[in-house]
């Protein structure tokens, strides 16, 4: 309840911290729509310093920041992120301190800890704006916020490891790199993932966790799958959403499926939904892809263990990783991921609709399991 109350207060807090003069307020919806266009369909027209323009910065703070906070505040409580006193958190491409603010809202158990946040972004006005909003929200806090104006170059991720961060995070950063690649350029996407994994690995302490969150679109899902494999080769294994260290069933170029999670936006602040409608960008759900990896292992495993048809341990967890979709015979389904590969959760619409995105099932696999003829997934009745 406290988290929801604080999220509901964010639009008013931003309005108070960064008020828009009346004569400019009427232009806010159109500025939001234009910035959305530059962030999606017309990325080529976007300059590196686009958020240094006052109207775009205002649109980002009043619209995109609250939605990103709302999305992260759904995800972060579900993750096993353990931090201790005096830990350093490195947040690359942090924008207006989105991750730091979301962590404060969603993890009140961490508020009393002395933590140090290195917030890195290419735009100093964005960093300053984010710190002003965070300070207005948090008041006096033992959290130390360091603003670092710096371009993040993942091409320089090689060399000796020197990072000391207990948590390295990148939120919506890498899509600005791979967005210029053709969706057929799998090798280019793979190299980007390898460079990204090495960069974050080198910034993290041996026992650190690394969190990457990207938009829930197909290209991002492919990137996350390739990033997982790149981390595996560095000795960092997935903690979430993966339930296993087997090959990612979505890392198959010819399959038009991707790992993503969708949540309803019904509880979003009313003022934020009103602004979305005014900008003609209504949001009914929030979608993202993510990967959390753990400590670097001194004893690396093979890149992937060979699959087996051994059913001696038939009970295995299945992570739900897709929206619901219609099947045949009036049934509905959702895809899931397990150590045995792709799973199709199938059943009546009323039952499938009740399955939460990202939730875990314990499935009993047997030698008689049937596979879906279209996707090749193991069928699990729900």
pLDDT in tens, the chain (382 residues): 566 788 889 999 999 999 988 777 889 999 999 998 888 765 555 555 677 788 889 999 999 999 999 999 999 999 999 999 999 999 999 999 999 999 999 999 999 999 999 999 999 999 999 999 999 999 999 999 999 999 888 876 554 556 799 999 999 999 888 888 888 898 999 999 999 999 999 999 999 999 999 998 889 999 999 999 999 999 999 999 998 888 888 766 555 678 889 888 888 888 899 999 999 998 888 899 999 999 987 666 655 554 444 445 567 788 998 888 999 888 999 988 988 888 888 999 998 988 888 888 877 666 677 888 888 888 888 8
Under 8 Å between Cβ of 196 and 226:
no
* Structural contact between residues 378 and 369, judged by C-beta atoms closer than 8 angstroms: yes
Beta-carbon contacts of 331 under 8 Å, excluding residues fewer than 6 positions away, are 346, 347, 348, 349, 352
Is residue 156 within a helix (H) or strand (E), and if so which, with residue range? none
Q: Return d(Cα 84, Cα 336) in angstroms, integer.
A: 33
pTM for the structure as a whole: 0.90
Return the structure tokens found at 144. Answer: 């130390």
């Amino acid at each position: 309840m406290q988290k929801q109350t604080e999220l509901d207060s964010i639009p008013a807090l931003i309005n108070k911290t960064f008020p828009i003069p009346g004569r400019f307020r009427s232009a806010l919806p159109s500025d939001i729509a234009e910035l959305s266009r530059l962030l999606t369909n017309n990325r080529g027209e976007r300059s590196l310093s686009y958020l240094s323009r006052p109207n775009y910065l205002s649109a980002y703070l009043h619209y995109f920041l609250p939605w990103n906070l709302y999305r992260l505040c759904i995800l972060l409580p579900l993750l096993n992120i353990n931090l201790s006193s005096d830990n350093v958190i490195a947040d690359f491409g942090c924008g207006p301190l989105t991750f730091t603010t979301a962590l404060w809202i969603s993890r009140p158990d961490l508020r009393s800890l002395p933590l140090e946040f290195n917030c890195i972004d290419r735009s100093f006005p964005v960093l300053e704006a984010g710190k002003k909003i965070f300070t207005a929200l948090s008041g006096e806090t033992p959290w130390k916020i360091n603003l670092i104006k710096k371009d993040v170059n993942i091409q320089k991720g090689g060399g000796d490891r020197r990072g000391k961060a207990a948590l390295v995070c990148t939120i919506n950063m890498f899509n600005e790199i791979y967005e210029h690649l053709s969706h057929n350029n799998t090798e280019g996407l793979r190299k980007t993932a390898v460079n990204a994994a090495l960069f974050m690995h080198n910034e993290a302490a041996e026992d650190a966790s690394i969190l990457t969150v990207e938009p829930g679109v197909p290209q991002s899902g492919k990137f996350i799958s390739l990033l997982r494999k790149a981390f595996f080769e560095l000795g960092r294994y997935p903690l979430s959403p993966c339930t296993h260290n087997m090959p990612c069933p979505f890392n198959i170029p010819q399959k038009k499926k991707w790992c993503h999670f969708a949540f309803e936006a019904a509880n979003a602040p009313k003022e934020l939904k009103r602004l979305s409608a005014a900008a003609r960008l209504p949001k009914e759900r929030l979608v993202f892809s993510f990967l959390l990896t753990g400590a670097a292992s001194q004893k690396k495993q093979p890149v992937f263990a060979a699959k087996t048809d051994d059913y001696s341990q038939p009970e295995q967890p299945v992570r739900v990783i897709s929206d619901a979709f219609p099947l045949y015979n009036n049934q509905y389904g959702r895809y899931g991921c397990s150590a045995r590969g792709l799973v199709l959760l199938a059943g009546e619409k009323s039952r499938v609709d009740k399955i939460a995105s990202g939730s875990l099932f314990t499935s009993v696999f047997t030698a008689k399991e049937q596979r879906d003829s279209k996707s090749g997934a193991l069928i699990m009745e729900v």
